[in-house]
Amino acid sequence: MKDYGTFLRLWIGQSVSGLGSQLTGFGLAVWVFQKTHSVGMMAMIYMATAVPGILLSPFLGALVDRINRKKMLLFSDCFAGVFSLFLAVILTTGTLQLWEVYLVAGAGSIATTIMWPTMSATTSLLVPKEQFGRATGLLQFGDAGSVILAPILGGFIYGYLGLKGLLFADVFSFLFAITMTLLCHIPQPEDTAEGVKARQSFWSEASFGFHFVFARTGLMILLFYFMFINLVLPISTTLIAPIILSHWDARTLGFVQSMAGVGMLVGTAIIAAWGGPKKKIYGLPIFGIVTFVASLLMLLPLNIATMSACFFIIMVSSPIVNACSQVIWQRKTPADVQGKVFAVRRMFAWFMTPLAYGIAGPLADRVFEPNHHPAEWLQRFSHGLVSSEPGAGLRSMFVVSAILTLIASLAVFLLPRFRHLEEELPDAELKAKPEAAPEPILTTA
């Protein structure tokens, strides 16, 4: 039996928990930079919040399907909350070391890797299929809200209470999420043939997600498409700060980033209200087309309005394409193996993001930006709109990444196995186990 009210309670709890995690991430990055004055050391924070979860995804996904999902949600919140509390206590003693900061960041990565497939798989049981798009929109709405609010609240709390204040706020957010989860009844999925087939050794369960995806060509193409997008798009987003700071100050950077966050919030609100196109696969090329069109604003004379509009438009489309993809995966994956499959999907897609950050710097510094000359072909294409001023090479790089996104979006849509994925691959069983009948109360005569 579907229970949208339970989903909403879980969503509220995990959204508050996500905000707390964003606050901690903000505070850790600021603390490390203030202590070391090293961009490299600060970048290690972002690596620590990504790599452990990526490497452990298949094993944690297997646990999600093996263990009661309510317990897994509670464990993820408790695990991250305990490490944040540990760091707050150490900070109080004045003996906090860098390795302890990275340890807590890594623990947060593991907790998120448990929470995400668990919440996604639980949503499949609580929400009717026709409401998957709206539910995914709400989940992304919570993420977008955290991205926007965390820098504002984080800067305020850090200014008055320091990192310790942010860590205690994070602990309270986890306590709130735990309370909301305890108040919910979370069903377990009904057994399916795929699920029974997957129940062998733990190692075989960890590899089941790989076999499931690669045995279904349409899903495999969908996964590779998002791997490519998660490689190209972060390269673009890392250019926001250097492009803006080449001409303006940090206040302008904050304004443009806020507009990008507002765009993401608008996009999640749209998908939450609309639910996406009836045939979800049609929503995927939209992202490539919109990203390309918005990037053309970079060819205009540089000003704050065009920069803000560019990133706003791109971020509006991002939650829509993510929601369309999520709905397809939820509909086509049996409920009792979604933990394993979604964890592998996350591992492949998210693996590309750290790689993108590693590529973006050398490309910008050694290829596009030297001597401040954009690529010759781009000069011809833009009729001189992109000049040789500082940051022009970065703008060229941004447009090139958008062109690659457009090409990939149109190319995959030309593949019949991708285009007809929703018709060729039948919807999976997404039923919860029936409630066990209560045991009779024994009485004595």
If we measure between CA atoms, which residue out of 62, 81, 77, 66 comes closest to residue 115? 77
pLDDT digit string, tens, across residues 185-219: 888 888 887 877 777 777 888 889 999 999 999 99
Q: Say whether 335 sits in a helix, a strand or coil.
A: helix
CB neighbours of residue 349 within 10 Å: 20
Query: Is pLDDT of 181 > 90?
Result: yes
d(CA 243, CA 386): 13
The pTM score is: 0.82
**What confidence tier does 388 reach under pLDDT thresholds 50, 70, 90?**
low
432 φ/ψ angles, rounded to the nearest 5 degrees: -90, 155
pLDDT at 438 over 70: no
Q: Which residues pair with 432 in a beta bridge?
A: 189
| CA pair distance 21, 26, nearest whole angstrom | 9
- The pLDDT assigned to 376 comes to 58
Average pLDDT, rounded, for the chain: 83
| Angle CA 56–61–64, to nearest 5 | 130
pLDDT score of 385: 45
Q: How confident is the model at residue 167 (pLDDT cuts 50, 70, 90)?
A: very high
User: In the predicted model, is pLDDT for residue 248 greater than 50?
Assistant: yes
Task: Say if residue 299's pLDDT is above 80.
Answer: no
What is the DSSP-derived secondary structure letter of residue 363? Answer: H
User: Using 50, 70 and 90 to split pLDDT, how confident is the model at 437?
Assistant: very low
pLDDT for position 227 = 92
Whether the per-residue pLDDT at 426 is higher than 50: the answer is yes
Tokens 């009210």 correspond to 5
Closest CA to 327 of 95, 75, 113, 131: 131
The 3-state DSSP class for residue 432 equals strand
Q: Which of 66-70, 99-103, 168-172, 428-432 has the lowest mean pLDDT?
A: 428-432
3-state secondary structure of 241: helix
Q: How far apart are CA 417 and CA 397, in angstroms?
A: 32
The answer to whether residues 306 and 244 touch, using CB atoms and an 8 Å cutoff, is no
Q: Tell me the pLDDT tens digit for each residue of 27-76.
A: 887 888 788 776 557 667 777 888 888 889 999 998 999 889 999 999 99
Lookup result for tokens 């998957």: 132
Report the share of the chain in percent with pLDDT over 90.
Answer: 30
Using the structure block, give the residue that is written with the tokens 């200014």. 159
Instruction: Please name the residues in contact with 332: beta carbons below 8 A apart, sequence gap of 6 or more.
Output: 216, 219, 421, 425, 426, 427, 428
Measured between alpha carbons, how far is residue 57 from residues 54, 220, 280, 343, 376 in Å?
5, 18, 26, 5, 43
pLDDT score recorded for residue 236: 73
Q: Specify the range with the lowest mean pLDDT, choosing from 169-178, 270-279, 384-393, 421-430.
A: 384-393
Confidence of residue 80 (pLDDT cuts 50, 70, 90): very high
Three-state SS at 369: coil
For residues 360 and 230, give the distance between their C-alpha atoms in angstroms, rounded to a whole number. 13
Please report the pLDDT score of residue 150 as a whole number.
Answer: 80
Taking the C-alpha atoms of residue 210 and residue 231, their distance in angstroms, rounded to an integer, is 20
Percent of the chain beyond pLDDT 70?
89
Cα–Cα distance measured from residue 348 to residue 357, given in angstroms and rounded to the nearest whole number: 16
In whole angstroms, give the CA distance from residue 366 to residue 164: 40
